[in-house]
Amino acid sequence: MSDNNFEDDMEELAAEIAVKAGAADVSLHDQIDAFKALMPYLALLKKGKKNDDEEEDEEEDDMPNFNNFQKNIHAVK
């Protein structure tokens, strides 16, 4: 783990937990515990990605295209 980037360290740790939890000798109970521990991290990653995608969509709305054509027509009415 690096000393510089907390996000990289968290990503590395989450990956390490997932790999170790998936080992053949790990009990189902321990796998479930690891899954529960990783779910909030995964949810935050997906939420962040969704927000990034929405920002890109907002930027695209400024440029005329067929996707926002109908919206622009209704805005004029």
Specify the pLDDT at position 45.
85
Q: Amino acid letter at 40?
A: P
pLDDT in tens, 48-70: 777 666 655 555 556 666 566 65
- Are 41 and 10 contacting, i.e. CB atoms less than 8 angstroms apart? yes
pTM above 0.85, yes or no: no
- Flag whether pLDDT at 77 surpasses 60: no
Provide the pLDDT confidence category of residue 22 given band limits of 50, 70 and 90.
very high
Write down the pLDDT at residue 62.
62
Name the more confident of 23 and 65. 23
Q: Are 14 and 41 in contact (CB under 8 A)?
A: yes
